[in-house]
């Protein structure tokens, strides 16, 4: 299997299955005028093309309001802590969130500049996949 540098193994495998996407990603450079198009594809894959997409979108929306650690996200979204850890790892591997003091207990998550610039794309995807609220299942 061809490994594409700086992409998560999951995305690399998905791109390997689709040679058209793989060819496009190889051409990607940070100064490329098509960077937004590729970022849009990445977000569509991570948020709209996977089962965990709505969870990841909720995490990004929550971090948009204020930085928090994994435990605070789990409480806010009413999702298991391990689920939050999994999704934040995927988001971090793809350069959408960053951790302060990585590996330490209570590491705070922030949106990266790349993700902050892509918030309009997130809103577009959010509108199309629906606004399922994870926290709406809260016990009243």
In sequence order, which residues have a C-beta less than 8 Å from that of residue 42 and are 6 or more positions away? 11, 94
pLDDT (0 to 100) of residue 26: 43
Backbone φ and ψ of 28, nearest 5°:
-65, 130
In sequence order, which residues have a C-beta less than 8 Å from that of residue 17 and are 6 or more positions away? none
**Res. 65: pLDDT tops 70:** yes
pLDDT (0 to 100) of residue 36: 77
Domain 9-137 adopts which CATH fold? Arc Repressor Mutant, subunit A (1.10.10)
Domain spans of the chain, in order of start: 9-137
User: Average pLDDT for residues 48-60, to the nearest whole number?
Assistant: 86
In sequence order, which residues have a C-beta less than 8 Å from that of residue 27 and are 6 or more positions away? 34
pLDDT (0 to 100) of residue 74: 93
**Res. 78: pLDDT tops 50:** yes
93 vs 18, more confident = 93
Q: To the nearest whole number, what is the mean pLDDT of the chain?
A: 75
Q: Which helix (H) or strand (E) holds 90?
A: helix 81-93
Q: What is the dihedral of CA 95, 114, 62, 42, to 10 degrees?
A: -60
Summarize pLDDT for 1-33 with one digit per residue, the tens. 444 445 556 555 655 555 444 444 444 444 455
| Contact by Cβ (8 Å): 25, 19 | no
pLDDT (0 to 100) of residue 50: 79
**Res. 34: pLDDT tops 80:** no
In sequence order, which residues have a C-beta less than 8 Å from that of residue 85 and are 6 or more positions away? 70
């Amino acid at each position: 299997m061809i490994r594409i540098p700086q992409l998560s193994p999951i995305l690399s495998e998905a791109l390997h299955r689709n040679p058209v996407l793989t060819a496009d990603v190889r051409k990607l450079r940070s100064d490329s005028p098509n960077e937004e198009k590729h970022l849009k594809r990445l977000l569509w894959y991570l948020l709209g093309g996977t089962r965990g997409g709505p969870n990841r979108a909720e995490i990004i929306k929550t971090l948009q309001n204020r930085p928090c650690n994994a435990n605070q996200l789990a409480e806010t979204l009413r999702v298991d802590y391990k689920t939050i850890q999994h999704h934040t790892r995927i988001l971090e591997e793809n350069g959408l969130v960053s951790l302060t003091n990585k590996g330490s207990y209570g590491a705070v998550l922030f949106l990266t500049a790349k993700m902050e610039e892509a918030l309009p794309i997130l809103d577009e995807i959010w509108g199309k996949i629906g606004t399922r609220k994870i926290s709406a299942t809260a016990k009243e």
